[in-house]
Chain A
Amino acid sequence: MAPRKSKTSRPAPPSSTLVLDNGAHTLKAGYVTDDDAATDETPTLVPNCIARDTDRRVYVGHELDQCKDFSEIAFRRPVEKGFVVSWEAQKEIWDRQFFDANAPQGPCDPSDTRLILAEHSNSLPVLQSNCDQMIFEEYGFASYYRANGPSLNAYHDVQAIFRTPRDPATVAQLPAECLLLIDTGYSNTTVTPLLQGRPLHSAVRRLDVGGKLLTNYLARLISLRHYDMRNEPHIVNEMKEQACYVSLDFNADLERAWKGTRGEKREDYLTGGGIAKEYVLPDFHTRSKGIVRDFDPEQAGRARKLAKLGEATEDVLTLRNERFTVPELLFHPSDIGLHQSGIANLVWESLLAVPTGLWPALLANVCVVGGNALFDGFIQRLQKEIVKLVPDDCIVRVARPANPITSTWVGGAKLAKHENISGLCVTKQEYEEYGGAWVVRKFATGSNDT
């Protein structure tokens, strides 16, 4: 083991910290300076992709804002399954976001910046060392912490999220003592029990269902039932975000959305039953975003007549059971033949790897982050399902932070101001002196001395 470098020989810590949650769908980034508490705690959200529209114009990262026509847009994403795989593309996106002269969040001087980069759990060693090499050898950041993404969420005031009744004067203990974090993002969903802000690695579980799969599944359903939308990932994604919800009573909802057997006129089907919604597709001339509106049987009939005559002014999809069968995959992946546990069982599997004594504390603090947490009803449904599985007298509390998408980033920003950070980071000198393997080991154990 390499001799430990004494603290005194460390150079002064860099003046600012770049906190970067490099998600597969969006990249969350922002600078944190530790001199004042007044820094705005909201990151910039950048699409982490290189996109090409039908005119073969290419947009990199933030340039996607300029795109007006999202029909048949194709994406190249550097992050696969949560891990940066294509550094060629990732470098281009980072360059244009942080390092170029006219970059919106730059130009950043890596030699005077600390980087906190959130990564997914259970990465491949190759990808981790690739990442370290790029950070130090290509960019040359002064110091760097490749943090486990879920564990950053422990640096929130978790009890405020759960609205625990308490003395208002109490200072939140950071990192939170016990937290069961569910991160349900673009590529997959992970369950991570956290103790003092450190993941219990042996209990981390992953379900390969994420926002991407849900979007693709919705696209498939619509292509089967309405129009071919398989080449419109962007439109379908917006549709999913606006119209889908997690059903609290799946069987009843499915029943209400059914059209019935032949010749049967079911009341719920004809009136929409509170489930059917109309989605007006964007045409990118007069309308750049789709609109959700309530299903109106009369209007739908009129629109159908107009469409027959070829005079329809808008393309409308009627969404019925698609609205809730799509997010349902998170709870029942076997519905599409994916033989994995749903989220609730995933929590149970994870708990089985943890001593029983920790169960009450973990179950009382289940926090959900990631974009899928924004589905209506997700939290309530998850709570219901977990309660069914665990011992009766465990209190189960499930909550999501105000903004589940940026939650990991905000946690990282709080870590950047926390005293822990100096011990966790690796400086460029240390990397050069001890080598990549040492860095990997240090990040893996997450402690000061290895």
Chain B
Amino acid sequence: MNNFGVIEVAGAKTTNAPGWAYVPDTGPPGLSHQQGKNSKNRKRAARSTAGGPNLSYADLSARQEAKVRKELEVLDRDNPRDVSIPIPAKPKGSGSGRDAAAAKHTPNVRKILQSQKTFANHLDDWLALKEGGGIANTGGTATPATGGGGTSSSRSAAAAAAAALSGRKGSAQQHKKSETPNSRGGASSAKQQQPKQDDVEMTDAPNAFGGEGGSTILSPYRGPLPAPHPRDDDLLLVSRVPPMPTDEELKALLAAPPLTYLEARAGWGAEDRKYPVRVFCEVCGYWGRVKCIKCGTRVCALDCLDTHHEECVTRYGL
């Protein structure tokens, strides 16, 4: 029905009524008050300008941020409480010939065994060492082949190698649309395209790794090909395959040093920011559609809100 031709128009007039109002709330705090930019409420305006569409920890209120961090720390623990379990004494009769030798460890071993450091300690140590710049030449800690300072830039070095190939990226997007019967062997026909041209360069690669005869890194495809089709040459149906990287590129890739622990950590990239962060009811686990006015905890509906109100306390540091 067209409602007798009457179109409802949202009123432009807002009254600054005291009390409360329903505010549509679709995301974590910060995002929710976008539309309040022109409102007279200074607090709300300040909050909405602080948190842009790019959500980050900074957009959460400090209290919630602390809570999330604390909860993540708890989730990362092996035991809920701090426990220290000492090494038990060996049972009788289990003594081996190595016991005599075990009595005198080498100094290195003794140091390692007595170390009470946790992984976090080691990570902090290593970061401090790197900050100091002396990581390459410290006696005890051996570094990978990259040498002084090289580790920090390894990800960028790898990125540079990838940048050399950036021209090929476009073709990857381009060939998105072609799909032909024989694209089943997409990978393999790509290999077939690669001519065996750079066969000679692999002298320093160990034989053990060489594909066939140690000549090239990727071996050509030798399996059966799909039966030819009369329209194989049809420009609309032809499948495009990204060009294979050359042996030099592959060698550079293989020779790239390992990333450091922190560099390998997954980021929070553009792909992840595409969609808003999902929020859940903290009582039952359904979507968190409404928020507790007092503390901002998410709940799904009135039932869960009541449950939550029973224990809703706003304390400092909670």
Interfacial residues, chain A to chain B (CB-CB below 8 A): 50-52, 58, 60, 74-77, 80-81, 83, 85-89, 91-92, 95-96, 99-103, 107, 121-130, 133-134, 137-138, 166-167, 173, 177-178, 190, 195-208, 212-213, 216-217, 219-221, 224-225, 230-231, 233, 254, 257-262, 320-322, 325, 332, 334-342, 345-346, 348-349, 352-361, 364, 389, 391-395, 419-420, 423-424, 436-437, 439-441, 444-445, 447-450
Contacts and interface: CB of A to CB of B under 8 A. Distances in A.
B268 to A, nearest CB: 4
B85 to A, nearest CB: 4
A447 B205 contact: yes
Interface stretch (B1-9, B42-50, B283-291): B283-291
Residue with the greatest number of chain A CB neighbours at <10 A, chosen from B71, B122, B188, B249 = B122
Interface of B is mostly: loop
A177 B144 contact: no
Interface string B203-224: 0111111010000011100011
Contact of A338 (B72, B183, B187): B72
A205 B77 CA distance: 22
A341 B266 contact: yes
A355 B268 contact: no
Contacts of A335: 278, 280
Contacts of A92: 87-88
Nearest to A424: B208
Contact of B300 (A101, A258, A364, A392): A258
Nearest to B127: A124
Interface of B: 56-57, 68, 71-72, 74-81, 83-85, 87-88, 90, 93-98, 105-106, 108-109, 112-119, 122-123, 125-126, 135, 140-145, 154-155, 157-159, 161-162, 165, 168-169, 171-173, 175-179, 183-184, 186-188, 190-191, 204-209, 211, 217-219, 223-224, 239, 241-245, 249-250, 253-261, 263-269, 271-272, 277-278, 280, 282-287, 300-303
A361 B209 contact: no
A101 B96 contact: yes
A99 B99 CA distance: 10
Contacts of B80: 219, 230-231, 233
B76 A213 contact: yes
Contacts of B242: 356-357, 359-360
A77 B108 CA distance: 22
A196 B56 CA distance: 39
Contacts of B260: 122
Contact of B162 (A352, A359, A439): A352
Given A335-B278, A340-B267, 13 more contacts: A76-B83, A88-B87, A88-B114, A95-B90, A126-B141, A137-B109, A204-B264, A258-B284, A345-B271, A357-B190, A391-B176, A441-B145, A444-B144
Contact of B72 (A200, A320, A337): A337
Given A177-B218, A262-B302, A357 B144 contact: no
B109 A134 contact: yes
Residue with the greatest number of chain B CB neighbours at <10 A, chosen from A200, A219, A224, A356 = A356
A345 B286 contact: no
B96 A107 contact: yes
A359 B172 contact: yes
Contact of B96 (A99, A128, A364, A444): A99
Nearest to A110: B98
Given A231-B81, A349-B267, A355-B162, A195 B254 contact: yes
Given A125-B126, A332-B278, A394-B186, A349 B57 contact: no
A205 B262 CA distance: 10
Contacts of B84: 76
B264 A358 contact: no
A-B CB proximity, top 4 nearest: A202-B158, A337-B68, A437-B142, A361-B187
Given A123-B261, A178-B187, A357-B245, A137 B144 contact: no
Given A129-B142, A322-B285, A202 B259 contact: yes
Nearest to A348: B271
A60 B88 contact: yes
B140 A196 contact: no
B71 A360 contact: no
Residue with the greatest number of chain A CB neighbours at <10 A, chosen from B187, B191, B280 = B187
A445 B255 contact: yes
A104 to B, nearest CB: 11
Nearest to B184: A395
A441 B255 CA distance: 12
A321 B115 CA distance: 43
